[in-house]
Structure 1
C-alpha cells in the first residue's frame, strides 16, 4: 500500500472530494523519508539558486527505497508534492531524486532524456 490513509480522508475520498491539506499530511505521515528528502532538496535548491539539485546518496534502508518509489511513481502523489513545494520532480534509477525550479525547462528536459538515464547507470544499482 502506498499510503496509510486516515478514516476521515478515506471518507472524503468516498464522497468524491478530498481536502488537499489532508492529502499532503497523509503523504508526509506515510512516506516520511521521501517527504524529508524532497523537502531537504527543495531548501538546498532555494539556498543555492541553482536550476536543480539532486540526491546522489542511496537510502539507508529498503524502506527508504520503497518510500521513494511510492512517492515518485504515483502521479497523484508526485503532482501533490510538486504543487506543494512549487517545483518539478524527476527520478532516475532507484534513488536519484532531482528538484527543479519550474522555469528550468532545459535542465529538466536534459535530465529526463534516455541519454541521461543510460549515463546514470552503475552496476551497483542493477537490483535496487
Structure 2
C-alpha cells in the first residue's frame, strides 16, 4: 500500500473531493523520507533563487527507496507536491529528484530527455 489513509480521509474521499492539504498531510505521514527529499529540494530551490535543483542523495535503505519510488510514480501524489511547492517535479532513475520553476521549460525538457536518461546510466544503478 502506498499510503496509510486515515478513516477520516477515506470518508472524505468517499463523500467527494479531498483537499490538497489533507492529501499532503497523508503523504507526509505515510512517506516521511520521500517527503523530506522533496521538501529539502524545494527549500534549496527557493533559497538559492535558481530555476531548478537536482537532489542526488542516495536513499539510506530499501524502505526509503520504496517511499521515493511510490511518491514519484503516482500522478496524484506528484501533482499534489507540484501544487504545494509551485514547481514541476521530475525523477530520473534511482535517486535523481528535481524540482523546476514553471519557467524552466528548457531545463525540464533536458532533464527528462532520452539523452539525459541514457547519460545517467551507471552499472551500480542497474538493480536499484
What range describes the TM-score normalised by the shorter chain of this pair?
A: over 0.9
Take 2:45 and 2:21, find their aligned partners in 1: how far apart are those partners? 24
- In 2, distance between residues paired with 1:63 and 1:127? 15
Please state how far the C-alpha of 1:5 moved relative to its aligned partner. Answer: 0.1
Q: After TM superposition, where is structure 1 displaced by more than 2 Å over at least 4 residues in a row?
A: none
> Given the two structures, how large is their TM-score scaled by the length of structure 1?
0.97
Aligned to 2:22: 22
Size of the alignment, in residue pairs? Answer: 128
In the alignment, structure 1 residue 42 sits paired with structure 2 residue 70: no
Q: Identify unmatched segments of 5+ residues in structure 2.
A: none
> Does 2:106 match 1:106?
yes
Q: Secondary structure at the match of 1:21?
A: helix
**Cα distance between partner residues in 2 of 1:42 and 1:23:** 18
Matches within 5 A, 1:71-82: 71-82=71-82
> 2:127, 2:110 → 1: CA distance?
25
| Distance of 2:85 and 2:107 partners within structure 1 | 18
Following TM superposition, by how much is the alpha carbon of 1:47 offset from its aligned partner in structure 2, in angstroms?
Answer: 1.4
CA RMSD of aligned residues (A): 0.8
Q: Could you tell me how far apart the structure 2 residues matched to 1:9 and 1:110 are?
A: 38
Equivalent position of 2:62 in the other structure: 62
Q: Which residue of 2 aligns with 1:125?
A: 125
Distance in 2 separating the partners of 1:99 and 1:20:
19
Secondary structure at the residue paired with 2:53?
strand
Counterparts of 1:55 and 1:71, CA distance in 2: 15
Where do 5+ consecutive residues of structure 1 fail to align? none
Instruction: Please report how far the alpha carbon of residue 53 of structure 1 lies from its aligned counterpart in structure 2 after TM superposition.
Output: 0.9
Name the CA distance, whole Å, in 2 between partners of 1:27 and 1:57.
20
What is the TM-score of this pair, normalised by structure 2? 0.97
- The 2-side partners of 1:10 and 1:37 are apart by 26
